[in-house]
Structure 1
């Protein structure tokens, strides 16, 4: 079937992604430097999970690891659900006009606190059902939900730092919070006192320390502006936020709802296997998330079609290579690190790795939609994918356990990715095929990136 022509005027041809040395070196260097910093920051949480995961698995066993996952999964879900897209709205408003940082951040924090308190109440009331009737897991859920409001505030602070190109702070926050979690777990593990309660507190509370990383940056923001446009006011933040929130909600449901529902559908044993598989599949996401975060801010300030498509292709290539390496080597290291009891997680991890790679082109495309003021279209893609995912999860999880949840995730990622690219074509005239494959310019970009990275290391 032929693709429909884009609505509205066709955009002008975009400049090349790699500018000649005499035209845009500063911009090119800035983007590559920001992506490098974001890559380092994004790498720490999953890499630390490779160390903390085996500790939790061996100390708690499959059922104990499943209990901790059941307790912290609602926290991870609510931290996205209760944002109403406000952190992304704050980032977008400040990226377009940095002078509005104080206004947007203050209003964003107020909205987040109110939403967080309501979310805490909702989790507390539903703890009995989410625990599958297990009183121990129910108590752990109640403990974890106390960290909801501080975790939500970290998201707003991170959004301000991202919008102001303070990527070093974002990286530092992720390094500090993930390292502290490991630092807390190791002494309890070595002394044989690591319990599900201690693990739940470490997982839920350590991200809150990120607030202290951003305090200095928040104090240096420009004073409040008197002439504030709508996008930085409460109504404007909620308007943009709610449009992107539907997508964020659907996206987190795609990645987290399966963990929340696994206990009532398949039990804590299957959840324990699934959590380990998810921790493996998150490693290639390091690349995708770094590219996506920087692309959102960069494209909001200066939309370049060629750069957006090339970023998606390069991210897919690197994520695919990482997934291939992990898929082959995990046959050895996953049972060694987590224990032989977790060997059944291997095929589940393979399916989830494929889901990450196949979803990468549209993930970058979705950032382009949001950056260009069309977050609602990205939300539609994720909402449709989420509905398919939930339907498949309800059918497959009771029969296939962790593998059923993985297959549902794969289907959801394929749908959301390709719908994002279709919407980009219809609204902005970007051919979806440009997001797939590898072009010569991509290798040139990678070579130039490697050269700049090597020069910085030699200084």
Structure 2
């Protein structure tokens, strides 16, 4: 819950301190970083999770070989961003300068992503949560501190967003030390060919998925301007709140289903996640017209209808997100990638067509269509290849509620 909650807290601070245009400038500088972080992984963190979840004995070799792959990829992708920076900055010298600064964090952030994937494969969820929470807390403290001191600028905000994942990476180190006794055996599952084979199949889906999430912010400045981007990033921050449940369920489902496939557990996780996502989105949508002008400022009132469309988009995309984790866990990441690739192509075409006409609302509509497409294609492939009925992803059951109540009681006792 903590990282998206922090995003909700930092979004108003950035909005009030920088204004619509300034917030858009920060997004223009950091969106390529966030996009390239997904593009440059080539699915290696997911491959690490998959390999180690199946047999933890390969962790040493996954760390060594995965780190080398991430280093090579990071250097290459950083060079690409630097070459494209004049185009992405749309003629703004300030955005160009900040974009270059942010790009230098790509390589170390890739190493952090690999370490997190390893910790997930080892089921070290406490350390995974600490890493994500530490990253978010570090970002919140710095942004709030700079704002209170009157030093929160476009440059300082960009720098904080770029370096905060590195702090979260430090918190993963204890997870690796705890399994030192298991890091001793060579295994073909951790070979370069095994990692890259699985990783590339996942990567097509990962890059397609991140295109659905991030390409709109990369293209918004050249196509619609910093003002529209400023409205859009606020709407995106709001729409990410319901994903608190989805992201946690998806990650745990991937690792657990890779260790032992269980269709009933998979579909129940999807139903519970969808129900929780819908409930959170409904509360936000019903009250947004009241609190958004107060929290973000009246200059951001134009983000209200955009946020409503994006809240609908994350809700309808939830079942297919968990289904996609199931496909990857059962050794068919290529099918998930196919779903996301088709959705990304459709989303990109709509972005290019609608953003010049309707600005941020055009991007929101494109995201909604892309999410609906990807979600239902994932469920279709899971049904076709593993005989998982469609209705099991949508039909909520009384038994699900009992499981949820039992889990909540256990959590409260802890």
Calculate the TM-score normalised by the size of structure 1. 0.88
1:28 matched residue in structure 2 = none
Task: Say yes or no: does 1:196 pair with 2:154.
Answer: yes
Match of 2:276 among 318, 341, 353: 318
Compute the displacement of 1:420 (Å): 0.5
Is the alpha carbon distance of 1:185 and 1:226 closer, same or farther for their aligned partners in structure 2, counting shifts above 3 Å?
closer
Distance in 1 of aligned mates of 2:176 and 2:185: 19
Distance in 2 of aligned mates of 1:299 and 1:414: 24
Match of 1:128 among 70, 86, 91: 86
- 8 A Cα contact 1:102 1:222, kept in partner: no
* Superposed counterparts of 1:10-49, under 5 Å: 43-49=1-7
1:102 matched residue in structure 2 = 60
Match of 1:388 among 323, 327, 346: 346
**Aligned-partner SS, 1:344:** helix
1:69 matched residue in structure 2 = 27
**Aligned-partner SS, 1:260:** helix
**Aligned-partner SS, 1:132:** coil
Compute the displacement of 1:45 (Å): 1.7
Task: Say yes or no: does 1:425 pair with 2:383.
Answer: yes
Compute the displacement of 1:196 (Å): 0.4
2:187 matched residue in structure 1 = 228
**Residue segments in structure 2 that go unaligned for 5+ positions in a row:** none
Q: Bigger radius of gyration, 1 or 2?
A: 1
Distance in 1 of aligned mates of 2:108 and 2:49: 18
Match of 2:210 among 252, 267, 272: 252
1:36 matched residue in structure 2 = none
1:368 matched residue in structure 2 = 326
Q: Deviations over 1:30-73 (max 9, x none)?
A: xxxxxxxxxxxxx2122112221111111111111100000000
1:308 matched residue in structure 2 = 266
Aligned residue pair count: 413
- 8 A Cα contact 1:101 1:222, kept in partner: no
Distance in 1 of aligned mates of 2:195 and 2:139: 33
Q: Deviations over 1:332-374 (max 9, x none)?
A: 2211111000001001001001000100111000000000000
Match of 1:377 among 328, 335, 352: 335
Larger fraction in helix: 2
**Residue segments in structure 1 that go unaligned for 5+ positions in a row:** 1-42
Compute the displacement of 1:224 (Å): 4.7
Is the alpha carbon distance of 1:123 and 1:398 closer, same or farther for their aligned partners in structure 2, counting shifts above 3 Å?
same
Compute the displacement of 1:217 (Å): 2.5
Distance in 2 of aligned mates of 1:254 and 1:426: 24
1:278 matched residue in structure 2 = 236
Task: Say yes or no: does 1:293 pair with 2:254.
Answer: no
**Aligned-partner SS, 2:172:** helix
Distance in 2 of aligned mates of 1:374 and 1:380: 10
Q: Deviations over 1:229-271 (max 9, x none)?
A: 2x31111000000000000000000000000000000000000
| Structure 1 residue runs of 4 or more that deviate by more than 3 Å after TM superposition | 222-227
Q: Over aligned residue pairs, what C-alpha RMSD do you find?
A: 1.1
1:336 matched residue in structure 2 = 294
2:403 matched residue in structure 1 = 445
Distance in 2 of aligned mates of 1:57 and 1:332: 17
Distance in 2 of aligned mates of 1:360 and 1:122: 33
- 8 A Cα contact 1:281 1:356, kept in partner: yes
Compute the displacement of 1:450 (Å): 2.1
Distance in 2 of aligned mates of 1:300 and 1:191: 48
Distance in 2 of aligned mates of 1:245 and 1:193: 39
- 8 A Cα contact 1:99 1:222, kept in partner: no
Distance in 1 of aligned mates of 2:145 and 2:411: 37
Greater alpha carbon shift after TM alignment, 408-417 vs 172-181: 172-181
Distance in 2 of aligned mates of 1:254 and 1:408: 9
Distance in 1 of aligned mates of 2:262 and 2:152: 50
Greater alpha carbon shift after TM alignment, 401-410 vs 188-197: 188-197
- 8 A Cα contact 1:309 1:435, kept in partner: yes
Greater alpha carbon shift after TM alignment, 172-181 vs 81-90: 172-181
* Superposed counterparts of 1:82-93, under 5 Å: 82-93=40-51
Distance in 2 of aligned mates of 1:322 and 1:105: 38
Q: Deviations over 1:127-149 (max 9, x none)?
A: 00000111110001000001001
- 8 A Cα contact 2:212 2:367, kept in partner: yes
* Superposed counterparts of 1:212-227, under 5 Å: 212-220=170-178, 221-222=180-181, 224-227=183-186
Greater alpha carbon shift after TM alignment, 365-374 vs 324-333: 324-333
Q: Deviations over 1:262-309 (max 9, x none)?
A: 000000000000000000000000100011000001100110111111
Calculate the TM-score normalised by the size of structure 2. 0.98
2:77 matched residue in structure 1 = 119
